[in-house]
Amino acid sequence: GQNIDQPTEMTATEGAIVQINCTYQTSGFNGLFWYQQHAGEAPTFLSYNVLDGLEEKGRFSSFLSRSKGYSYLLLKELQMKDSASYLCATGNTPLVFGKGTRLSVIA
């Protein structure tokens, strides 16, 4: 079976840095996805990690440790538009999602 755990809600200040953690247990591993979902909209792809380490993509970075079953999404220079839910998903097709972390960015 597969189990994904991430915090339900987080709040951070505009311009700050926030780290959203995700732990997972899976019978097989084929990478780890992060998606962003604004309220009432479709989830959109942010990042995919299959090897250990940090993948940087502009203001967003994603980290993976396969031995620890752990990933995080790092958001820098937060903007108000970053307020959304962030979904962690195992890469075993089809994707299995965590409950998502609702991030609120405040002024």
Partner 1 sequence: ETGVTQTPRHLVMGMTNKKSLKCEQHLGHNAMYWYKQSAKKPLELMFVYNFKEQTENNSVPSRFSPECPNSSHLFLHLHTLQPEDSALYLCASSQDQNSEPNTEAFFGQGTRLTVV
Q: Can you give the binding site for partner 1, defined by CB under 8 A?
A: 4, 30-31, 33, 35, 40-45, 48, 50, 87, 89, 91-100
CB 89 within 8 A of CB 3: no
Residue (10 or 95) nearer to partner 1, CB: 95
CB nearer to partner 1: give 50 or 80. Answer: 50
Distance of closest approach, residue 87 Cβ to partner 1, in angstroms:
7
**Closest distance to partner 1 from the beta carbon of 105 (Å):** 21
Q: Please state whether the peptide bond connecting residue 43 to the residue before it is cis, i.e. omega within 30 degrees of 0.
A: no
Residue 25, token pair as written in the block? 């247990």
Cβ-based nearer residue to partner 1, 51 or 107: 51
| Sign, Cα dihedral of 73, 25, 11, 46 | positive
**Segments in 50-91 forming alpha helices (H):** none
